Structure formats: structure tokens, C-alpha cells
Amino acid sequence: MTDTAQRPSEGDESLRRQLDAYELRDRFRLEDGRVFLSGVQALARLLGDQLRIDRRNGLNTAAFASGYQGSPLASFDGELSRAAKA
């Protein structure tokens, strides 16, 4: 499970090393630790996390996302594509 990020303190060397090693695609593939997400990215990650959990439990499930032209989540399909490639 992920947690929310906090500003590292001056003496927190472990956190600094984690942040230095952080890659943008980690927002979709990390299963532990901190990830940095926008709201739309969090929705895209949610679908992937559920699929990962289902597969671990031996379930063969799929995800389906639908929208409409002019939706406030217009970038959601792009985030799903990026998540699938990560």
C-alpha cells in the first residue's frame, strides 16, 4: 500500500535516497513505498492495482473504462495507456 508523501527532513538520508532513485514510471509499478500521483493518475493506478490483486488471488478479470467527449477526465485514457506501458 502506498502512503502520502511528506517533505524530507534534513537528516532523513533514507528518504533522500529513495527520492533520488524515483522514476516517473514508478507511479504505476511500485507496490510499496511512496508514489507521486495526480488525481487522474490515481484513478488509472487503481485499475491496475485491482487487476494485480485479482491475479494474485487466481482470478482472471479485466478492467473496462469508458468516457465521453468533453469529459472532465479527458486525459484518463492517456494515463491508462501510460500505465499499461509502465
Quote the radius of gyration of the chain (alpha carbons, Å).
15
Dihedral (Cα; 66, 29, 4, 24), 10-degree rounding = -90
Phi (first) and psi of residue 59, to 5 degrees: -95, 140
- Write out pLDDT tens, residues 38-85: 888 888 889 989 999 999 999 999 988 887 878 888 788 888 888 888
13 contact partners, CB below 8 Å, separation of at least 6: none
- Confidence at residue 25, expressed as pLDDT on a 0 to 100 scale: 72
